[in-house]
Structure 1
Amino acid sequence: MLAPLSNTPRDSAWGSPTLLAELEGREPSGAPEAEVWFGDHPSSPAQVQDGSGRALDAWLVEHAAEAGVPARLPFLLKLLAAASTLSIQAHPSKAQAEAGFAREDAAGVARDAPARNYHDDNHKPEMIVALSDRFEALSALRDLDATRDLLAELGEGAATLRDRLSAPDAAADLGETIGWLLSGDAQRVVDDVIAAASAASSVRFGAELALTRRLATEYPGDAGVVVALLMNLVTLRRGEAIFVPAGVLHAYQSGLGVEIMAASDNVLRGGLTPKNIDVDELVAVLDASTGPAPLLQPEALAAGVSRYAPPVPDFALVRVEAPDHIADVQTSGVAIVLATSGEVSVGGARTTDAVILRPGQALLASPDESPLRIGGGEAFIAEPGA
């Protein structure tokens, strides 16, 4: 079966007022539109456009085992549109999520409480593929030698932090340093570093300093501005991707992308947000290792077909670029097809009458529809991972 899906954009302060509207070819709503979810997560399940009026989570339960349809999807597919920074954040591992969810349940924290950290018991590795010509992101902690070089260019205003990161055990204690910066105990250091970065200029780190000035304007005095200086700043071009495993610190900055993750809404935040912040829990799940941003290269499968396959069983993402031909795409289970340009025709092994999707529209394809036949534009196919 091919079941068309729809959902309404979710608003967040960091959302773009124009990017989703431009993709979908409609007038902007006037509100910041941050995400559209195509999945069955109970926080915002998609609606099935088959006349039943059912949300996808209830629809899947009703159709479970029919044509190989699962009762729950292992992944959550989104369109993400950022005009300003998302929070400094990381996601838990499966074991951490299970323990945290049980702990908050036992403590009587309502599952929809703003102060709740764990909204489900699942991990949340994620990947984003840029749709806009530029997608900016902070991802993973930069190599410490490069960070010390950056801080050296800030002069005396960054001396305390630079000295701390130059200690023999700095790499081992990097998570502790991040917790110290975010805790409020280091506010004088935070203010000094922000002032120094705002006044400095640099050939090597010009983009990082420009971002610091923007973040300091959006979130004055926020320690997350300084933590951002410890992270890799990456500009993705259209079709480029970042994979974010559990525990990796990240904060998307601007642009439009297709995001896929394990079916979870667990986020531990440390700064740059009006939402709930829990520094201790963030540090508890943090992977404080350093290195380059975790870019992910797709594998070419056929003409116009490539697959982004991170090392997790929950999801993979196939990109189909077929404006003037039909591509046959084998899927590995239940799939969601999301159109991103053109008028995309989607047919299947059992449904020969193609469904037409315009940019921003999606459908669920049952496993027995493989191979899917896709043409007329660009689409992304979310499916279970290997």
Structure 2
Amino acid sequence: MTPKPNMMMMLIPTSKSFTEEDIVEDTSPFMTEISKRSISSNALSSMLAARENLNVVEVTRTNALRKLDCAAQQYAWGRVGSNSSVARMKAANCPNFVIEEDSPYAELWVGTHPNGMSQVIDCDTGESCSLKDYVQSDPLLHLGNSEATDLTFLFKVLSINKVLSIQAHPDKELAERLHAERPKIYKDANHKPEMAVALTDDFEAMCGFRPIAAIAANLRKYPEFRTLIGEEIASSLCRLENSQATREVLSDMFYSFNMASKELVDSQLESLMKCLHAKKTEDLSRDDKLMLKLAGQFPGDSGIMAPLMLNHVMLTKGQSFYIGANEPHAYISGEILECMACSDNVVRAGLTPKLKDVDTLVSMLTYKTVIPNITSGKKMDECTTLYAPPVADFAIEVIEVEPYSEYTLKDVKSPSVLLTLSGSGKLVQGDVQSLPAAYGNAAFASANTRTKVVSGPEGIRIVRALSNVHFF
């Protein structure tokens, strides 16, 4: 009896000559209309391809686009039920998935991290294998490098209902040490710089230490904040508000802030809340309003006063900012695209019921006092906006194609993942592959392969995450 082929063999067929049955043909009305309107592919493609020494390969059934089923993470801070884009995307892409309307849905993971591995789906049989097993079956073909073993990036969608913990992610050297010393807590040895792109107009976050002058002003304005960190450190910080020698005093401040006794925290928060509640609504500052919001979510946590020392940023749809390793931050609300190095290492201090590793967090931070740089990406051509951080691990492209049009994605020497954000259409690779593209649909593209986006009557908006081949 002939043995049943395993999933990996079904997803990775041997090379063969194509027959008429292999050819995908589409005679739908909007495909006919597309012939009348065609958008040119990336205007920079030729220049960038020459610089990157691309080895563009023929698309076959072996390296064609693959449908992905992605993990939805149900952390407590996520938006609840159908109010979460994460839940709606998961349900749209997975017919058997049922949204629980009283449960939170926080993150959609698209990638190869073991804590939320994407699955490659055989559209004919419904069988699956992990994306990591798939790319490792032929690293040269899928990753563009015979010595590579994994994607360099992890892509996510976040739906934030409540503030995330005050946290930072380690650089490579620290990640390796933490993983070696405490592998049950820090489960991989990679660094985790990351970038957020707002999907909604209500995204808020805290990121990085405020300028010394702003912190000093808050020490004078809010006596509870001053008492919490101690008079000696507060006085030292105020004396340095026009000095560059700030790292040591900021480190002392942050340590005292996080190590204050429960009795001290409780008494100062009680005093602060009385003062804030006594104010008229129109007299509340932005910091006041944020502290009241945090107090409602994490009563009794010293992190309620974090806005007095960390920058409070507010982004609208399409705006982004980058968070380097060893920088403190906390997302507050909204929905975002997030891309990062492939890691899940988090060092936490406040606004969380999870493990707090204050000593590690205090020692690892850079203590830079700068306002985060908020950008709207770089328009590469009429369809693509590029968000590229100053690291090689990852980049994001947001592609918007008008109704009844087609657009060819630039060939890149990196593998990539694609997620449809709105609209409908198809992802086409010649006569070899044609995948539906609708809200929540995700796909994996092997390195050096070419994909055409074909839009339907509503147009289509797609995000592509990849290694940062644009600048590295």
TM-score relative to the length of structure 2:
0.73
Q: Give the aligned residue type for 1:91.
A: H
1:72-126 Cα deviation digits (max 9, x unpaired) = 100000111110000000000011111221222xxxxxx4x4xx1x210100000
Secondary structure of the residue that 1:85 maps to in structure 2? coil
1:357, distance to aligned residue in structure 2 (A): 2.1
CA–CA distance in structure 1, aligned partners of residues 389 and 283 of structure 2: 31
* 1:241-260 to 2 correspondences below 5 Å: 241-260=320-339
Secondary structure of the residue that 1:86 maps to in structure 2? coil
Secondary structure of the residue that 2:72 maps to in structure 1? coil
1:328, distance to aligned residue in structure 2 (A): 2.1
Which of the residues 288, 291, 295 maps onto 1:216? 295
Q: 1:178 to 1:295 in 2, by over 3 A?
A: same
Secondary structure of the residue that 2:372 maps to in structure 1? coil
Secondary structure of the residue that 1:257 maps to in structure 2? strand
* 1:273-312 to 2 correspondences below 5 Å: 273-312=352-391
Task: Answer with 296-305 or 14-23: which moved more.
Answer: 14-23
Which residue in the other structure is 2:35 paired with? none
CA–CA distance in structure 1, aligned partners of residues 431 and 158 of structure 2: 30
Which residue in the other structure is 2:166 paired with? 88
1:194, distance to aligned residue in structure 2 (A): 6.4
Aligned 8 A contact 1:76 1:261 in 2? yes
1:184, distance to aligned residue in structure 2 (A): 3.2
1:211, distance to aligned residue in structure 2 (A): 1.3
* 1:1-386 to 2 correspondences below 5 Å: 1-17=64-80, 18-20=83-85, 21-22=87-88, 28-30=99-101, 31-50=103-122, 51-68=126-143, 71-104=149-182, 111=183, 113=184, 116=185, 118-154=186-222, 156-160=223-227, 161=229, 162-163=234-235, 165-168=237-240, 171-185=247-261, 188=264, 191-192=267-268, 195-196=271-272, 199-200=275-276, 201=279, 206-324=285-403, 325-332=405-412, 333-348=414-429, 353-370=433-450, 372-373=452-453, 375=455, 376-385=459-468, 386=472
Q: CA RMSD in A?
A: 2.4
Aligned 8 A contact 2:73 2:107 in 1? yes
Task: Answer with 140-149 or 89-98: which moved more.
Answer: 140-149
Q: Give the aligned residue type for 1:347.
A: V
Secondary structure of the residue that 1:312 maps to in structure 2? coil
Q: Give the aligned residue type for 2:465.
A: A
CA–CA distance in structure 2, aligned partners of residues 287 and 193 of structure 1: 28
Give the gaps of 5 or more residues in structure 2.
1-63, 93-97
Q: Give the aligned residue type for 1:184.
A: A
1:146, distance to aligned residue in structure 2 (A): 1.8
Task: Answer with 249-258 or 294-303: which moved more.
Answer: 294-303
Aligned 8 A contact 2:168 2:326 in 1? yes
1:338, distance to aligned residue in structure 2 (A): 0.9
Q: Give the aligned residue type for 1:192.
A: Q
1:13-71 Cα deviation digits (max 9, x unpaired) = 10111222455676742210000100001111011112442111222222332355553
1:110-161 Cα deviation digits (max 9, x unpaired) = x4x4xx1x2101000001111112211111111121223334333x334435
Q: 1:255 to 1:295 in 2, by over 3 A?
A: same
1:177-233 Cα deviation digits (max 9, x unpaired) = 111111234852674256326623597972221111121222222122223321111
Q: 1:372 to 1:244 in 2, by over 3 A?
A: farther
CA–CA distance in structure 1, aligned partners of residues 290 and 362 of structure 2: 24
CA–CA distance in structure 1, aligned partners of residues 108 and 273 of structure 2: 35
Q: 1:138 to 1:374 in 2, by over 3 A?
A: farther
CA–CA distance in structure 2, aligned partners of residues 95 and 204 of structure 1: 46
Which residue in the other structure is 1:107 paired with? none
Q: 1:158 to 1:272 in 2, by over 3 A?
A: closer
CA–CA distance in structure 2, aligned partners of residues 239 and 318 of structure 1: 11
Q: 1:335 to 1:19 in 2, by over 3 A?
A: same
1:368, distance to aligned residue in structure 2 (A): 3.1
Aligned 8 A contact 2:72 2:90 in 1? no
User: Among the aligned pairs, what percent are the same residue?
Assistant: 30
Q: 1:24 to 1:41 in 2, by over 3 A?
A: closer
Q: 1:122 to 1:140 in 2, by over 3 A?
A: same
1:322, distance to aligned residue in structure 2 (A): 1.1
Aligned 8 A contact 2:143 2:150 in 1? no
1:321, distance to aligned residue in structure 2 (A): 1.2
Query: How many residues are paired up?
Result: 374
1:274, distance to aligned residue in structure 2 (A): 1.0
Q: 1:174 to 1:68 in 2, by over 3 A?
A: closer
Q: 1:86 to 1:329 in 2, by over 3 A?
A: same
Q: 1:22 to 1:53 in 2, by over 3 A?
A: closer
Q: Give the aligned residue type for 1:5.
A: L
Q: 1:103 to 1:323 in 2, by over 3 A?
A: same
Q: 1:366 to 1:374 in 2, by over 3 A?
A: farther
1:352, distance to aligned residue in structure 2 (A): 5.4
Q: 1:314 to 1:372 in 2, by over 3 A?
A: farther
Give the gaps of 5 or more residues in structure 1.
105-110
Aligned 8 A contact 1:194 1:216 in 2? no
Q: 1:271 to 1:68 in 2, by over 3 A?
A: closer
